[in-house]
Amino acid sequence: MLIALLSYISGVYFPWWTIAIVGFLVILLLPQPPVSAFLSGFIAVFLLWTVLAALINTANGGILAGRIGLLLGIGKSPVALALITGVIGGLVTGLAALSAAYLRQTPIQK
């Protein structure tokens, strides 16, 4: 929930890629095992971006999703476009969270 909330807030004020920074910092501060860290980051932003894409689609009557879908070769499917959007955001955040989990596991050499 924290990753989704902070990703939404950062997305309002900063570029889209700040979701990676959010996922990285949250897992760095709240340590989790690598698999849990990846899933936390992935699921949080996947759900966030899928819902946001669906809301944007309904706000403009599906016109934009239809045109982008044709450009991507997926047809005029707003559902497919929302899922693709969610997967991309989820992967970015999930991999950033996984990086933080692995960084916390790395022993510091003296």
- Residue 13 domain flag: no
Query: How does pLDDT run across 80-98, given as a tens digit for each residue?
Result: 888 999 999 999 999 999 9
Sorting pLDDT into bands at 50, 70 and 90, what band is 109? low
Mean pLDDT score of the chain, rounded to an integer? Answer: 90
- Residue 100 domain flag: yes
- Residue 18 domain flag: no
Tally of domains within the chain: 1
**Span 49-69, average pLDDT:** 87
**CA-to-CA separations, 79 to 46, 62, 82, 83, 97, in angstroms, rounded:** 13, 10, 5, 6, 26
- Residue 8 domain flag: no
pTM of the model: 0.86
| Domain with 71 in it | 35-105
- Residue 22 domain flag: no
- Residue 110 domain flag: no
- Residue 6 domain flag: no
